[in-house]
Structure 1
Amino acid sequence: MFELKKVVSSLLMPLPAMLILGFLGLVLIMFTARRKLGSLIILVSLCGTFLISFQPLSSRLLMPLERQYSAFLPINETIDYVMVLGGGHVVDDQIPPTSELSRASLMRLSEGIRILRMYPGAKLILSGYDGGTGVSHARTMAKVALALGIAKPDIILLETAKDTWEEARQAAGFVQNKKLVLVTSASHMKRAMHEFEAAGLNPLPAPTNFLAQKDIEQAWQKYTPSSRYLEQTERYWHETMGLIWQNLRDWVANEGNQEFLPSVSELESSEGVDKITEQDIEAQLAPEEPQEAANAQ
């Protein structure tokens, strides 16, 4: 179910949709007599590709979503946990650990470490499954956190959570009523806050990785189609689909008067909570047999 959701959502992203539309137009031109229709479809595909890569459109779409929560400011309260949500990685021994993380993940982790250092005694929660790489995203972020000076007893790993829903419920199992700061990309924060609040938590939002900007003075940057503006449109559409799915799921759950739960096997595989061990440090956090849960704090 999880893999199917990812495949379908990927095909519905703006760029794949425009490419599929363009290929459909080519098929009509090359293999049917409906050449005018095919040409029109190709024109729509080209114009659509231009628009989704156009800064005035992409930033106008994404900025309202990103600016719903302000950047984190220090508060005069005790913070118990700072949780950084996963955002993608690769495994490549020939590049530094910082390059194994996606840009979004690196920015999330940097912000999490910045906040953690404001509150001595707080723990850093890192989440994310392996995504088929053999090394969990949480463990990959932990390598970078250790290299940046975070002490290993201050790191907690959630290595099996595949999405925000699972991350929220795993965190709720041990955070409970303690103070939590939630770090994720600004565009993702609205959806993440909903999931964590639904799980019974009341986190303080700490958005980062802001992409959309309105004060771009250079005309050649503002009005020339660019991949970075395409990324903004795709982020907006990805989060919009996520919010639609979230609302639909909640509606179904409310209609059925029960919580929308994954299968038993999914629940059993998403309960792992672990701290980094001394052996992990010696092996540079290489994958190993899962250790006993260390969430009794």
Structure 2
Amino acid sequence: MMLYFKNILAALLLPPLGPLVLVALGLLLLGRRPRLGRIVAWSGLAVGVAMITPATVGKLIDGLEDIPVVDPVRLADAGAIVILSGGLRDYAPEYGGPTVNRVTLERVRYGARLARQSGLPVLVSGGTPSRQAGALGPGEAQLMKRVLEEDFRVPVRWVEGRSLDTRQNADFSAPMLREAGVGKVVLVTHAAHMHRAMEAFEQAGIAVIPAPTAFLGGRGRNDNLLPSLPAINSAYAGGYAAHEWAGILAYRLSR
């Protein structure tokens, strides 16, 4: 129940719906408080435009993607590679059923590359609320294992399929790793998600070598006018960044 509450609250506060909620609230206030209503409505519009504009989105992303690419030499210090899920795609008829979505696939691809380079065993982590009972098909971690082994030819040693958020990724993976004598891992997730993921695993007692992938920064950073205008890619990056900053704030407040 708490997970659904968090998801509903995030949807109402974060892009793309959050700015529209502000606009709607402002319009509702026009009748009784016209000045306040106009301020709220225009604020929602301004926030919405800012969250799809590369210049402002870049500022949000920069503070998240400040962890560098992993040095291959450091891989030898770890005992395993942990790849976090980012969702699945239910309708994938070309694959004969559900498969990982593009976010998870970006992480899986890089994790497979690091596994080949290092020879380290792999743990995949991620559950799906609708799959918890196992009645509706495989969850995210099971799909990650399938993709890694069938498409990338990389074996998966551990499958953690119960977690529903980043903290649970860490809390449920840590006992599996410690049982195998692993105290330090190479952690694979999106660059913008790495701060939150590292904090969760370190709080669970697992040391982390960060291996960020799928950097969202750098969009539209040139002298041409067109790439600096609002665009689909910057809208995606802006929504992702807002979600991560909200998650970091929630971590701080829950301490």
Q: Normalising by structure 2, what TM-score? A: 0.86
Q: Deviations over 1:54-81 (max 9, x none)?
A: 11111011112112x1111212626431
Q: Deviations over 1:192-249 (max 9, x none)?
A: 1111111111121100111011633431011x11232222222222112211211222
Residue 105 of structure 1: aligned partner: 104
Aligned length: 244
Q: C-alpha displacement at 1:98, in angstroms?
A: 11
CA contact (8 A) 2:124 2:158 kept: yes
Q: Please list, as runs of the form range in 1=range in 2, the aligned pairs for 1:104-253 lying within 5 A after superposition.
A: 104-120=103-119, 122-132=120-130, 134=136, 135-152=138-155, 154-176=156-178, 177-178=181-182, 179-213=184-218, 215-222=221-228, 224-250=229-255
Equivalent-residue separation in structure 2 for 1:234 and 1:130 (angstroms): 21
CA distance 1:155–1:39, shift in 2 (3 Å): same
Q: C-alpha displacement at 1:15, in angstroms?
A: 2.5
Please, which runs of 5 or more residues in structure 1 have no aligned partner? 251-297
Q: Please list, as runs of the form range in 1=range in 2, the aligned pairs for 1:80-95 lying within 5 A after superposition.
A: 80-95=79-94
Stretch of structure 1 that moved more, 50-59 or 40-49: 40-49
Equivalent-residue separation in structure 2 for 1:11 and 1:88 (angstroms): 20
CA distance 1:219–1:93, shift in 2 (3 Å): closer
Q: CA RMSD in A?
A: 2.3
Q: Normalising by structure 1, what TM-score? A: 0.75
Q: Please list, as runs of the form range in 1=range in 2, the aligned pairs for 1:255-294 lying within 5 A after superposition.
A: none
Q: C-alpha displacement at 1:88, in angstroms?
A: 0.8
Query: Aligned AA for 2:12?
Result: L
Q: C-alpha displacement at 1:173, in angstroms?
A: 0.7
CA contact (8 A) 1:97 1:140 kept: no
Query: Aligned AA for 1:80?
Result: G
Residue 8 of structure 1: aligned partner: 9
CA contact (8 A) 1:97 1:143 kept: no
Query: Aligned AA for 2:69?
Result: A
Larger Rg: 1
Q: Deviations over 1:251-287 (max 9, x none)?
A: xxxxxxxxxxxxxxxxxxxxxxxxxxxxxxxxxxxxx
Task: Verify: 1:52 aligned to 2:51, yes or no.
Answer: yes
Residue 73 of structure 2: aligned partner: 75
Equivalent-residue separation in structure 2 for 1:40 and 1:175 (angstroms): 52
Q: C-alpha displacement at 1:43, in angstroms?
A: 2.6
Query: Aligned AA for 1:12?
Result: L
Q: C-alpha displacement at 1:151, in angstroms?
A: 4.7
Q: C-alpha displacement at 1:150, in angstroms?
A: 2.5
Please, which runs of 5 or more residues in structure 2 have no aligned partner? none
Query: Aligned AA for 1:165?
Result: R
CA contact (8 A) 2:90 2:98 kept: no
Q: C-alpha displacement at 1:103, in angstroms?
A: 2.2
Equivalent-residue separation in structure 2 for 1:198 and 1:192 (angstroms): 10
| Identity fraction in percent | 26
CA contact (8 A) 1:88 1:105 kept: yes
Residue 26 of structure 2: aligned partner: 25
Query: Aligned AA for 2:112?
Result: I
Stretch of structure 1 that moved more, 204-213 or 237-246: 237-246
CA contact (8 A) 1:111 1:183 kept: yes
